[in-house]
Amino acid sequence: MSAYAALQKMSGTTSVLYGASGESDNEKDNETIGYLRNSSDEEAEETEIPIIPTTTPTPNIIRTPSIVPRVNNFICESNFIPNDDNFIVFHDHIIIGLKANEYILINGQCKMTIQRGAILINTGHYVFAHPNNCIPIIASQSQSLPIISSTQVVDRSGIKDTKTEENIHLFSSNYKSVIKLENFYTGLEKIGSYHPPFKRFFYSKSLGEDEELTEYERLFKTYSFEIILKDRGCIGISIEKLWLNQIQLLIADINEDLVPKIIMIIGNKNSGKSTLSKTLLNSLILDNQNAVSYLDLDPGQSEFSIPYCLSLTNHSKPIVGMNIPKTSGDEDSISHYYGFTTPQSQPSQYVSIIKALFQEYDQTYKPRGNHLIINTPGWIKGYGKELLHELTAFINPNQLILLSNNTDTDNMDNSDNLNGLTFQNSRCFQGIYQTSKYSPFQLRMFNKLSYFHQLADLKFDFNIHILLRSPLKISYETANSPKTFKGINMISVLNYDVGLNFELNDLLSMIDTSIMGLYLIDHEYYSSVKSSIKRLGDCHYLPQYLDSTDYTSLINYSSSYNVFMGLCMVHSINTTDEFFNIYLPNNNQTQLTEMITKKDYKLLLVKGDGDIPSPELLMFDMLLKQQEDIKKLNKRRRKNPNLDDKDVLKIPYVTFENKNKIGGIWKTRRNVMRRGHQR
């Protein structure tokens, strides 16, 4: 039995390799010895998993230079030098004149309008002036920062310069481009006050010491953004020359006919897949002036999907900086709850969701002329290779792009990575190996925080702690509920079946204080599965439970009988009055209530990993209060050592003592045998 088949067989039950608790096994300090999930098999022995032969026709492999290109030096600061002529300051915006070969790095959030000529975004995307073309920029320290550079106008047709009294002196031969940067406060700039480890995630006025700032840098303390004028450890996105050439060749091949194309990108972790995917997305949008579909298959670190989900989204405007998915989505986006951060946890469900999303593209968006870009997880060895084998078999991409440290397709590793995959053409791009300042765990935490604090599209509220808001009180159905019941009708926990993995009376401890997915089920379709619901006589107070195996049969990702409504945080469960207290984004709450009460949908809550971010569980102000009380107590104990701690704020389940590193924390080695150990 292959590794993939074995994992499929185990997908409905707990795996002996990695358990069913999911993300917490990886990311908490009290780890148990076991295989480290979501890790790359780059260094595993080459004979680990046999390659499955295929009978597909020999694909066209496009040759690229075999010499590994030299990576450009990182751009860490702007070469633009502000002065009274090229830098015009207003209370809510600035106007900048760029001369030939000048560029700026932008950190923070702003709206950019090109007032004269054209610019290059990230040294590769050509955008010309038009007063109606306002581009939002969300630049975070978790990623490389966007670079805006001057460029020569290619074609005057379509260009509409905006000449005003303030910028008229910049319409001279000395300047190539004029841009306007406006304040754009989304609320994300306050995430650092909500969770201090994120204080530098976004630019904030409170950051920086005045004595270390130049006169012009000090000016930015009144804006929602800054221009990086000196090296502070930030790196800009500079698309390499070889990438630009290959992208131009790729787009030329794509545009040979009017048939929409599918481009899939594979490669190891931190090789630049997301950067290249977004670069291709922007290039196709700007080249064709048509919407482009984006299928995100990475459930662990996604910019385009909400936490624990896989999605198909459609984009008609270029994305500069970070993309933040909407909580409720829109008509041109489809999401489904997967529940985990790695394909290993439920491989059959993972593939089923992808098939449904791809079918939606094939039937709905491909006829509209949308190209499709597919970003994949960074796992191309071992089981990851078998997974790619199955995905490419039904997707059959027109272009398969492999990111590698060697662009020669005849290279042994490249040939091995491509062998057995189904595709029409393949290309090798030079990988850009760069890690984020923030760990995958922190990025997942940011995705959760931004989801639950989103008020509307690019509007967030981190002013008030979520625990100070009233949760939504929603009743749950039990064995004694009337037939006309409206509320939560079923609960399911992925990979857990009653009697096989747990006992029903342990259900509350499994779902309390966790993140769960919300599915609305058509009431007629729901009646056909009621017989599968688990009930026990002595557990009449518990919500009705649906086994994981029955859940996979119930949820048809291609059916209109079920509607995914996003995520919720379970705050608490009242078994006496039989209701849940949950938190969910405002837009989703209104829509969910309407669908249940007026359209008679049934509600299913499903859980996979579901860890709630620590800052949502405990208010930071309480921690500060507790620490302040301890300081006061220690000061008073100098005079009276026997003084008790009754005045100290007590916080249950929280300790401030450091863990014992000797014998306290064990982390298993990822790969027991390295290539050098093979005989």
Q: Which helix (H) or strand (E) holds 125?
A: strand 125-128
**What does residue 492 show for φ and ψ, rounded to 5 degrees?**
-145, 145
Instruction: Decide: 320 and 458 in contact? Cβ < 8 Å.
Output: no
Residue 381: pLDDT band by 50, 70, 90 thresholds?
confident
**Calpha distance 297→173 (Å, rounded):** 48
Instruction: Say if residue 514's pLDDT is above 60.
Output: yes
**Of 279, 254, 274, residue with least CA distance to 375:** 274
* SS3 readout for 20-71: CCCHHHHHCCCCCCCCCCCCCCCCCCCCCCCCCCCCCCCCEECCCCCCCCCC
**Calpha distance 371→368 (Å, rounded):** 9
Tens-digit pLDDT profile for residues 142-178: 999 999 999 999 888 889 999 999 999 999 999 999 9
**Calpha distance 203→621 (Å, rounded):** 22
Residue 408: per-residue pLDDT: 80
Tens-digit pLDDT profile for residues 302-314: 899 999 999 999 9
Q: Token digits for 399? A: 């272009």
**Is the C-alpha dihedral spanning 412, 416, 418, 419 positive or negative?**
positive
Report the CATH number of the 241-431 domain: 3.40.50.300
DSSP string, 372-388: EEEE--S--STHHHHHH
Tens-digit pLDDT profile for residues 396-410: 999 999 998 888 877
**Is the C-alpha dihedral spanning 483, 489, 490, 491 positive or negative?**
negative
Instruction: Give 378 or 568, the one with higher predicted confidence.
Output: 568
* Alpha carbon distances (Å) from 230 to 75, 84, 235, 560: 11, 19, 11, 54
Tens-digit pLDDT profile for residues 109-140: 999 999 999 999 998 899 999 999 999 999 99
* SS3 readout for 147-186: EEEECCCCCCCCCCCCCCCCCHHHCCCCCCEEEEEEECCC
**Calpha distance 630→649 (Å, rounded):** 9
Neighbours of 186 (CB within 10 A): 20
* Alpha carbon distances (Å) from 493 to 352, 545, 550: 18, 9, 11
Instruction: Say if residue 55's pLDDT is above 70.
Output: no
Instruction: Give 1 or 79, the one with higher predicted confidence.
Output: 79
Residue 671: pLDDT band by 50, 70, 90 thresholds?
low
Find all residues with CB under 8 Å of 527, minimum gap 6, and list them: none
DSSP string, 264-319: EEEESTTSSHHHHHHHHHHHHHHHH-S-EEEEE--SSS-SSS-TTEEEEEEESS--
Tens-digit pLDDT profile for residues 218-249: 788 889 999 999 888 888 888 877 688 899 89
Amino acid 407 reads: T
pLDDT exceeding 90 applies to what percent of the chain?
A: 50
Instruction: Say if residue 664's pLDDT is above 70.
Output: no
Which of 350-354, 597-601, 660-664 has the lowest average pLDDT?
Answer: 660-664
Residue 581: per-residue pLDDT: 95
pLDDT exceeding 70 applies to what percent of the chain?
A: 83
Instruction: Give 323 or 646, the one with higher predicted confidence.
Output: 323
Residue 212: per-residue pLDDT: 66
Instruction: Give 107 or 268, the one with higher predicted confidence.
Output: 107
Residue 389: per-residue pLDDT: 93
User: Which segments of 444-514 are extended strands (E)?
Assistant: 454-456, 459-460, 472-475, 488-493
Residue 425: per-residue pLDDT: 92
**Calpha distance 183→174 (Å, rounded):** 27
Residue 289: per-residue pLDDT: 76
| This model's pTM is above 0.85 | no
**β-pairing verdict for 488-493 and 602-607:** parallel
Residue 599: pLDDT band by 50, 70, 90 thresholds?
confident
Residue 466: pLDDT band by 50, 70, 90 thresholds?
very high
Instruction: Decide: 595 and 486 in contact? Cβ < 8 Å.
Output: no
604-614 per-residue burial string, b: 16 or more CB within 10 A, e: under 16: bbbbbbbbbbe
- The arithmetic mean of pLDDT across residues 421-437, rounded, is 87
**What does residue 159 show for φ and ψ, rounded to 5 degrees?**
-80, 130
Q: Which helix (H) or strand (E) holds 604?
A: strand 602-607
SS3 16: coil
Find all residues with CB under 8 Å of 538, minimum gap 6, and list them: 505
Name the DSSP class of 660: P
Instruction: Say if residue 660's pLDDT is above 60.
Output: yes
Domain assignments of the chain as residue spans, ordered by start: 87-228, 241-431, 464-617, 620-659
Instruction: Give 619 or 450, the one with higher predicted confidence.
Output: 450
Amino acid 436 reads: S
SS3 3: helix
**Calpha distance 288→370 (Å, rounded):** 10
Instruction: Decide: 117 and 178 in contact? Cβ < 8 Å.
Output: yes
Instruction: Say if residue 358's pLDDT is above 50.
Output: yes
* SS3 readout for 520-574: EECHHHHHCCHHHCECCHHHCCCCCECCHHHHHHHCCCCCCCEEEEEEEEEEEEE
Instruction: Give 399 or 538, the one with higher predicted confidence.
Output: 399
Instruction: Give 246 or 13, the one with higher predicted confidence.
Output: 246
SS3 395: helix
Instruction: Decide: 104 and 98 in contact? Cβ < 8 Å.
Output: yes
Q: Token digits for 48? A: 């680990």
Instruction: Say if residue 37's pLDDT is above 60.
Output: no
Residue that is written with structure tokens 């009376």 in the block: 505
* SS3 readout for 569-602: EEEEEECCCCEEEEECCHHHHHHHHHHHHCCCCE
Neighbours of 415 (CB within 10 A): 12
Name the DSSP class of 146: P
Instruction: Say if residue 9's pLDDT is above 70.
Output: no
Instruction: Give 542 or 262, the one with higher predicted confidence.
Output: 262
Instruction: Say if residue 64's pLDDT is above 50.
Output: no
Half-sphere exposure of 672 (CA within 13 A, CB side): 4
**Of 585, 644, 562, 294, residue with least CA distance to 451:** 585
State the average pLDDT for the chain.
Answer: 83
Residue 38: per-residue pLDDT: 39
Residue 134 pairs in a beta bridge with 113
**Of 103, 432, 124, 146, residue with least CA distance to 281:** 124
**Calpha distance 458→111 (Å, rounded):** 12
* SS3 readout for 414-455: HHHHHCCCCCCEEEEEECCCCCCCCCHHHHHHHHHHHHHCEE
